[in-house]
Chain A
């Protein structure tokens, strides 16, 4: 499997580390149900068979964290974005809402 790092280009699996689901984001630690929210964030996974947004780290490359959308049945990758860009957009969305 090869992932295209937006910075480095296409590289093989062994340059990357995987951490998992990118659809969960760190909840508000001051929220009313912080502990329940953090439990869900840290433990509950959709674990879909199909399209999966997930976080990869270009550990042997540029050290960027990436959000990769990949089909868990075929390993086919449909998109790669940097985690930073996704996070900035998410934060804007949060702030804007």
Chain B
């Protein structure tokens, strides 16, 4: 048995340490994330299974749906990112793969993305500086999701159903540039930072 232990680091937190300014945004950590893609011809069966297991109706459009302990955010045609708390779901991907056997392909994405949340009255102004989609509440109501880019960096984003919080997930390796953009965009509004 190895005497060496590994400890995780958060990509945004690392970026935060080296970034130039702070903003009214927070790093979101502690989620287990898996990519779920329906197998050929299994969309309906998958939806039924997910409904049965998690009480969630998989959205066929860009939205997030939250069930008992698991959220499914649309991630492309017949694809979702399933998210759950990491502390209670350490083996999330494998569990899911087992549970969705034959119905979906599952791939771990827990580490593939860095997540940040943005909220407050100026959230939309901040995001508009890089996100080229309409975030007006009429066009992007609570629960909406989108795959797009922010200042040339790919993001999957959604607006929580519960409160007015945007979550943006960018590829992990882009975290530092993403953070620079976000802070620079927010700085005009004298924001505050949280974890």
Contacts and interface: CB of A to CB of B under 8 A. Distances in A.
Whether chain A touches chain B in the assembled complex (some CB pair under 8 Å)? yes
A7 interface: yes
Given A63-B76, A64-B77, A82-B77, 12 more contacts: A7-B62, A7-B76, A7-B77, A8-B62, A8-B147, A8-B148, A9-B133, A11-B148, A12-B132, A15-B132, A60-B148, A61-B148
Nearest to B147: A61
B55 interface: no
Contact of A15 (B62, B77, B149): B149
Contacts of A8: 62, 146-148
Interface of A: 7-9, 11-12, 14-15, 60-64, 82, 84
B77 A62 contact: yes
B144 to A, nearest CB: 10
B147 A62 contact: yes
11 contacts: A9-B62, A9-B133, A11-B133, A11-B148, A15-B149, A60-B147, A60-B149, A60-B154, A61-B148, A62-B77, A62-B147
A84 B133 CA distance: 25
A31 B54 CA distance: 50
Interface string B134-171: 00000000000011110000100000000000000000
